[in-house]
């Protein structure tokens, strides 16, 4: 039986640095747990443009379609701001999501006890927070047509189209309800049905799927702007939130900061099942490429490490090992190991990116 396959796309900025720490974790699983992966590596984003003139080559796209999972670092940076929109680094990531049909984006927002003081909210509001935002990822305003910048009379007009079909809404709704059944059996669907026809359809379809297939799950509806307010007022009222592409982008970043640092948050983008029954999948940290600290060993690798933990759980059926890795990260934080983004004390030297990765490996050793 062949090993599970993993395509690593480190990308730009701090991507290669945080991915190097994930490679330590992969090596540890092979050496200490006998769990090995067929790992390949390629380019995406600005580095792919530098090498090939496009942010993602057809060959790399083909590889992504063939492997069991893709693990991505980050893309983009000011170096590429002047490029034509069609070849900006982010287009490589959007192509991966679209052509792999990764319609369900899982963004957990979990506040580790050791980091509760780092949130901008009061500790009692965020301590123990554990919510899952499920964002529709392959449709909506980021992909709808017509789009572009046109000229009307003497001025330019920017056009983007919010478009959703019933089937696109239904499949991400099912993803949310299935996830809720594994958690607290509660879903809140967020849209703008008060001012958008796409929001009206979204609410109707989510309700229909619930009534016909998941009546055991508690379902509520909320306008997305009210949802943003409630996330900052009392986030623990939520468990699973399901929403569209644009609102999911905004709400998941808002929820991310409730936990104290973007450097701690992973994500998974899942599609339809492959022949082996597992979903097509891409895993990536929520944070960006942070070009201002690239190459300085300041980046926090935990979000990328935890993204690999999500891959263990959702792509490789290694839930116990995923829990082991997540517990190792939590132990490192509880022991006071901190990268620069997690320090609020003066005079304390932060751990480097590689030191944080080494500490996680040491915690994994201690778990045996």
Query: Quick one: pLDDT at residue 1?
Result: 66
Tell me the H-state helices in 131-215. 166-181, 197-213
Say if 1-111+262-368 and 130-258 have the same CATH topology. yes
∠ Cα 303 307 189 (to 5°): 95
Q: Between the ranges 16-30, 242-256, 337-351, where is the mean pLDDT highest?
A: 16-30
Query: For residue 157, with 0-12 CB atoms within 10 Å meaning exposed, 13-18 middle and 19 or more buried, which class applies?
Result: exposed
Known binding positions for Mg(2+): 225, 249, 253
Phi, psi angles (nearest 5°) of residue 173 = -65, -45
Q: Where are the domains of the chain?
A: 1-111+262-368, 130-258
Q: Which CATH class is domain 1-111+262-368?
A: alpha beta
Known binding positions for substrate: 97, 107, 135, 225
What integer best gives the mean pLDDT of the chain? 94
Work out the widest C-alpha separation in the chain, in whole angstroms. Answer: 70
Please determine, for residue 318, whether its predicted confidence score (pLDDT) is greater than 70.
yes
Report the 10 Å Cβ neighbour count for 74.
Answer: 32
Instruction: Flag the least confident range among 197-201, 217-221, 338-342.
Output: 338-342
Q: How far apart are CA 321 and CA 310, in angstroms?
A: 10
Known binding positions for NAD(+): 77-90, 288-300
Phi, psi angles (nearest 5°) of residue 267 = -155, 160
∠ Cα 109 214 314 (to 5°): 45
**Pairwise pLDDT comparison (186 vs 257), residue with the higher score:** 186
Name the CATH superfamily, with its identifier, for domain 130-258: Isopropylmalate Dehydrogenase (3.40.718.10)
Q: What DSSP designation does 350 have?
A: P
- Using pLDDT thresholds of 50, 70 and 90, give the confidence band for residue 304: very high
Q: Which residue has the tokens 């069991």?
A: 68
Query: Quick one: pLDDT at residue 112?
Result: 85
**Pairwise pLDDT comparison (263 vs 41), residue with the higher score:** 41
Query: How does pLDDT run across 56-113, given as a tens digit for each residue?
Result: 999 999 999 999 999 999 999 999 999 999 999 999 999 999 899 999 999 999 888 8
Please determine, for residue 347, whether its predicted confidence score (pLDDT) is greater than 80.
no
Q: How far apart are CA 47 and CA 75, in angstroms?
A: 9
The pTM assigned to this predicted structure is 0.89
Q: How far apart are CA 322 and CA 11, in angstroms?
A: 24
Instruction: Flag the least confident range among 38-52, 62-76, 265-279.
Output: 265-279
Beta bridge partners of 189: 221, 242
Please determine, for residue 273, whether its predicted confidence score (pLDDT) is greater than 90.
no
Query: How does pLDDT run across 160-178, given as a tens digit for each residue?
Result: 999 999 999 999 999 999 9
Tell me which residues are annotated as active site.
142, 192, 225, 249, 253
Please report how the helices 15-33 and 302-314 are oriented relative to each other, as an axis angle in degrees rounded to 10. 50
């Amino acid at each position: 039986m062949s090993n599970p396959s993993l395509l690593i796309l480190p990308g730009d900025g701090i991507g290669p640095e945080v991915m190097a720490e994930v490679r330590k974790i992969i090596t540890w699983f092979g050496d200490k747990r006998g769990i090995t992966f067929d790992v390949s590596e390629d380019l995406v984003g600005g580095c792919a443009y530098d090498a090939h003139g496009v942010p993602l080559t057809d060959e790399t796209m083909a590889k992504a379609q063939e492997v069991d999972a893709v693990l991505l670092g980050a893309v983009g940076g000011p170096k590429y701001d002047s490029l034509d929109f069609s070849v900006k680094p982010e287009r490589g990531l959007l192509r991966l999501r679209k052509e792999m049909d990764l319609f369900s984006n899982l963004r957990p927002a979990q506040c580790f006890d050791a980091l509760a003081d780092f949130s901008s909210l009061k500790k009692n509001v965020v301590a123990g927070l554990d919510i899952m935002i499920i964002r529709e990822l392959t449709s909506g305003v980021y992909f709808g047509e017509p789009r572009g910048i046109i000229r009307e009379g003497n001025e330019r007009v920017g056009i983007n189209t919010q478009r959703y079909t019933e089937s696109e809404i239904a499949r991400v709704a099912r993803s949310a309800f299935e996830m809720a059944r594994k958690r607290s059996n509660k879903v809140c669907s967020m849209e703008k049905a008060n001012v958008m026809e796409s929001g009206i359809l979204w609410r109707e379809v989510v309700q229909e799927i619930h009534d016909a297939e998941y009546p055991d799950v508690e379902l509520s509806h909320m306008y997305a702007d009210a949802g943003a307010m409630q996330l900052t007022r009392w986030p623990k009222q939520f468990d699973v939130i399901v929403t569209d592409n644009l609102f999911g982008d905004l709400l998941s970043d808002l929820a991310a900061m409730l936990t104290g640092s973007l450097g701690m948050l992973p994500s998974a983008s899942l599609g339809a099942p492959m022949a082996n029954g597992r979903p097509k999948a891409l895993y990536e940290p929520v944070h960006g490429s942070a070009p201002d600290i690239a190459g300085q060993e300041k980046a926090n690798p935990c979000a990328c490490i935890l993204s690999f933990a999500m891959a263990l759980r959702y792509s490789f059926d290694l839930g116990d090992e995923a829990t082991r890795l997540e517990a190792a990260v939590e132990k490192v934080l509880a022991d006071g190991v901190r990268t620069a983004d997690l320090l609020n004390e003066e005079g304390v030297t932060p751990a480097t990116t590689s030191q944080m990765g080494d500490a996680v490996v040491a915690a994994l050793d201690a778990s045996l």
